[in-house]
Amino acid sequence: MIETKDSGINRIGEIPKHWKFISVQYLSKIYNGNSISDEEKDNYTVERNIPYIATKDVSLDYCVANYENGLFVPENSKFRIAPAGSTLLCIEGGSAGRKKAYLTRNVAFVNKLCAFVPKDVNGKFLFYAICSPIFKLQFDRQLTGIIGGVSPNTIKKFKIPVPPIDEQKAISDFLDKECGKIDEIISGVKNQIEILKEYKKSLITETVTKGLNPTAEMKDSGINRIGEIPKHWKISKLKYVSKINEKILSESTPPDYKFRYVDISSIKSMVGIESYKEMTFDVAPSRARRLVSVGDTIISTVRTYLRAIAFIDESANIVVSTGFSVHTPLEVIYPKYLYYVCISDFFIAIVNEYSTGVSYPAISDNLLGRISVPVPPLDEQKAISDFLDDKCKKIDELIEQKQKQLETLAEYKKSVIYEYVTGKKRVEEC
C-alpha cells in the first residue's frame, strides 16, 4: 500500500507521498505562436516545410493535430516552433481549454494556441496532465475577457501532481493503451451517427421525389437533380407554391416589445430550431426584424449556412434574422411537405449552384423562387409529411442516444486520466 499525503487541493484530495506538486513553468517552456494573415497564406504552401497549425486543425475529441491542412512555413523564419513531443492547447475563444494535441512532429502554430515544451518531465505524461480535470479546473477559474482566454503567464503558475520519471512513463504508456481503446469506441459511435444522418438525408430526398408507392408509374421530371417522379405528380417553381413573407418589425416598434429571436446559430442542421433567444426590441440586433407565422419555412440565404432551414410550428411572437428567406405555403402545398422539400439534397444542391458572391456567396429571394420542386396531390403531400415526421423523429432519437453515449465515453476517458495522473490508481494494480 502506497503512503499518501494531502495535495492541498479539495478537488484532488490525497496523492502518493513520494509525488510532488509542481508548477508547469518548472516542467515545460510555455509560449504561444504567431498568426498568418489571409493575405500571406498563399506564400506558405511548400510541403517540405514545417506544418502550420491553426485552432481548427486541433481535434476536439481525439487530441491530435492535422498536419496536412496545406499551410507550411520555412524552418528558419519568424514563426515560433513547437517540437515533436510538445503539447498544444487552445487558450482563447470558444475552444479555450478544450482543444489540445500531443505533437508527433515539429510545427508552427497560431497565437491562440499555446505550446508546452517538456523540460524535466515525460512529454506524454505532461500531455495527460493537461488533459485532466486538475488542469481544466485551474484553467476555467482564470478565464477572462469577452472572448474568453487565459494568458501563458497565468498558465505557468498552474500546478500538477508529478511522480518520478519512471512512473510518468509507465502511466503515459498505460493511458496511451486505455485512451486508444476508448477513442476506437468513440470513433465507432461517431461513424454510426454519420450513417444515421446520411440515411435521414437520403430518406427525405427519396420520399419527396419518389413518393411512398414503390410501384407507382414514373416519368422524367426534366430536372437532372430530381430524376424520375410519379407520373401523376407535377413540377412547379417554388414561387408558385409559396410566397415570400416580407413582414418586418418597423423602427417604431415599442422598445419593450418582447419576442423570441431565431438566427443561424439557433438552428440545428436537418432538425430545425433548437433554441430561441428571448429579447426586447430595444436590445435586439439590427438583423432581428423578420416576422414569421406558423407553417412558414425559413431558409438561410448564405451558402455557408445552407442547412440552416427550419419549419415554424409555433405562433408566439417569433422574429427571425433578415439573413433568412421566409416562405409561406400557398393552398397548393402542405406546409410540412414544403419544409421537407427545402431540406432535401436536391434542393440544397440547386441553392448551392445558384448562389453568387465571393466572400459570402448567397442566393436571392428571386432565385429561390425559380427553383423547381416536385408537387404531388395534397393528400399525398400530407401522407409523405406524416411518414417523414415519424421516421425522422425515430432517427433523431437514435442519434440523440448515440450522442449521449459519446458524452458518457468522454467523461469516462476524463475519469481514467484523472485517476492515474493523480495516483488514485496505480499502473501496477491493473
Cα 124–Cα 26–Cα 82 angle in degrees, nearest 5: 50
Pull the grid cell for residue 143. 478565464
Surface-to-core class of residue 198, CB atoms within 10 Å of its CB (0-12 exposed, 13-18 middle, 19+ buried): exposed
Better-predicted residue by pLDDT, 32 or 77:
32
pLDDT at 132 over 80: yes
Q: How far apart are CA 152 and CA 22, in angstroms?
A: 16
What pLDDT score was predicted for residue 430?
Answer: 42
Phi-psi region of 283 (alpha: psi -120 to 50; beta: other; left: phi over 0): alpha
- On whether the CB atoms of residues 176 and 124 are closer than 8 A, the answer is yes
pLDDT band at 203 (very low <50, low <70, confident <90, very high): very high
Alpha-helical segments (H) within 34-77 = none
What pLDDT score was predicted for residue 43?
Answer: 82
pLDDT band at 1 (very low <50, low <70, confident <90, very high): low
- On whether the CB atoms of residues 86 and 116 are closer than 8 A, the answer is yes
User: SS3 for 124-149, per residue?
Assistant: HHHHHHHHCHHHHHHHHHCCECCCCE
Question: CA-CA distances (angstroms) from residue 342 to 105, 270, 362, 415, 425?
Answer: 45, 10, 16, 43, 54
Mean predicted confidence (pLDDT) in 168-177: 96
DSSP string of 205-264?
HHHHHH-S-TT--EEE-S-TTT-EEETT-EEEEGGGTEEE---B--TTS-TT-EEEEE-G
Mean predicted confidence (pLDDT) in 301-319: 84
- On whether the CB atoms of residues 80 and 33 are closer than 8 A, the answer is yes
pLDDT digits (tens, 9 = 90+) for 342-396: 999 999 999 989 888 877 788 999 999 999 999 999 999 999 999 999 999 999 9
**Distant-in-sequence, close-in-space partners of 286: CB < 8 Å, separation ≥ 6:** none
Q: How far apart are CA 315 and CA 260, in angstroms?
A: 10
Single-letter amino acid, residue 216: A
Percent of the chain topping pLDDT 90: 73
Which has the minimum average pLDDT: 48-52, 60-64, 110-114?
Answer: 60-64
- On whether the CB atoms of residues 97 and 381 are closer than 8 A, the answer is no
Pull the grid cell for residue 294. 406558423
Surface-to-core class of residue 292, CB atoms within 10 Å of its CB (0-12 exposed, 13-18 middle, 19+ buried): buried
Q: How far apart are CA 109 and CA 103, in angstroms?
A: 11
- On whether the CB atoms of residues 259 and 283 are closer than 8 A, the answer is no
What pLDDT score was predicted for residue 314?
Answer: 82
pLDDT digits (tens, 9 = 90+) for 369-378: 999 999 999 9
Instruction: Tell me what the pLDDT averaged over the chain comes to.
Output: 92
Q: How far apart are CA 25 and CA 30, in angstroms?
A: 7
CB atoms within 10 A of CB 411: 10
> What is the C-alpha R_g of the chain?
27
- On whether the CB atoms of residues 421 and 125 are closer than 8 A, the answer is yes
pLDDT band at 78 (very low <50, low <70, confident <90, very high): confident
Phi first, then psi, for residue 288 (nearest 5°) are -85, 80
Q: How far apart are CA 103 and CA 97, in angstroms?
A: 17
- On whether the CB atoms of residues 334 and 376 are closer than 8 A, the answer is no
Which has the minimum average pLDDT: 5-14, 28-37, 65-74, 204-213?
Answer: 5-14
pLDDT digits (tens, 9 = 90+) for 250-298: 989 999 999 999 998 899 888 899 989 999 999 999 999 999 999 999 9
pLDDT at 103 over 50: yes
What pLDDT score was predicted for residue 303?
Answer: 74
394 alpha-carbon distance from chain centroid: 22
pLDDT digits (tens, 9 = 90+) for 22-50: 999 999 999 999 988 877 888 888 878 89
Mean predicted confidence (pLDDT) in 229-258: 94
**Distant-in-sequence, close-in-space partners of 121: CB < 8 Å, separation ≥ 6:** 27, 28, 162, 165, 168
Helix (H, G, I), strand (E, B), or coil: what is residue 37? coil
- On whether the CB atoms of residues 246 and 366 are closer than 8 A, the answer is no
What pLDDT score was predicted for residue 429?
Answer: 52
Alpha-helical segments (H) within 287-377 = 335-342, 345-354, 365-369
pLDDT band at 148 (very low <50, low <70, confident <90, very high): confident
